[in-house]
Structure 1
Amino acid sequence: MLKIEELHVYYGGIHAVKGISLHIPKGKIVTLIGANGAGKSSTIRSIAGLVRSAKGKILYTSNEGVEENILGKTPEFIVKKGIAMSPEGRRILPHLTVEENLLLGAYIRDDKEGIEKDMDHVYSLFPRLRERAWQKGGTLSGGEQQMLAVGRALMSRPDLVMMDEPSLGLAPMLVKEVFDIIREINAQGKTVLLVEQNAFAALKVAHHAYILEVGSIVLSGPGEDLLKNPRVKEAYLGG
């Protein structure tokens, strides 16, 4: 579905991503793991069209089988192609209601019946959002705001959903709930690219994983295999 070839990302004089290549197969969960500054968020921000100072190739194959390089395209173009992102820090609009935040995720669409159907689908995934549909986003708990951010991404009806640090700042019980939802979204046919510092939870859910360190991929493989890798255990899983 998506292939990255020799991606470089720069912020001024900082070389944040150093020629990485990776593959996200259709229908799979792929995770990028690494410490702060490893280049994880820079990578998915490049896919989303939010980074201009990048070079290389990001090759996306649509459901029609057409492959094109989307590097440098606008965020709106990327969303229309079927790629959506739930950003780090949630970035919901606190002064808008839950329902208004969700509708913003469907801004590229004009199929009213389809939007209503997808709204019901999001509410079925996250029943607490239905209960709080007319509540201001800023009054939700951290976990509920994360659910709202994921639901908003789903409202564009994407084929590939990217999630940047979905478990950040959440209590352990809510972390489990978020990862259960990630599994459910994948089971319903969505491809998922997951950026996470919670290596244990991410590797348990991922079909394939890439370990980034200082802008480079240092390890990759099936999530289950990396869970058993001594280097990964020592660096990311507390030994």
Structure 2
Amino acid sequence: MIQKYGRTFAFGVAAGVTRAVYAGLRRRPRDERWERTNHAGRTVDLYAGPAVAAGTVLGAVPAGGRGAAVLAGVVAGACGAYDDHRGDHRRGFRAHLGALRDGEVTSGAVKLFGIGAAGLAAGALLKERPVDQVLAGVVIAGTAHLVNLVDVRPGRAVLAVLGLGAPGLLRGPLAAAPMGAAAAVAADDLGERTLLGDAGAHALGAVLGTAVAATNGRLGLAAHAAGLVAAAVYGDEVSRRVAGSPA
């Protein structure tokens, strides 16, 4: 019963905060720094990103996400926001790591190491044994990357979060927070009025990954980590090919 109402409350807090922040940001005067051109050539705003990040993190608190989920969500959202506004559109880990070898710290490198470190720190808060802590960190950072990876068309990231989070709801309330935040902006995202951006996608994924890590033992963590690493490698290869293809 406690878990049932914990899920409902976490979902409601996340959705309510997300809608309130999103509505507040949209009432601001037009600011081109918060506008982007989407895949279809339409001008959309980035306001869903900070709104979703705020809703996800605050929704995680009543769901028992103090510490690990809050840390992962805040850092992932902040690193994503930095990339949204400072990114140079280089694609793939290889490009960013190559630039780092040449002494250039790209926004992608900030995300890679920042979210990775936050994932490991959150994993250390969730698990006791070092092996489990590392696996949990991989799951948290990997899920943050996965949600951002699928955010290439309207609604894909929010639908991914809703689909991936549903099984987690059966085992614990924490997954309700990213689901509530995603649901709150789903119509606007699908309607091509806004974008999650890296801030929103990474925050959603980090807290969702924390929910997955919190409800799995070593075998489950290892299976999830292996799948996420494989998805990251495949996504990096696809990004590299897209970046190298002619316009």
TM norm structure 2 = 0.31
Say which structure is richer in strand.
1
Structure with greater helix share of residues? 2
- Report which structure shows greater RCO (CA 8 Å, sep ≥6): 2
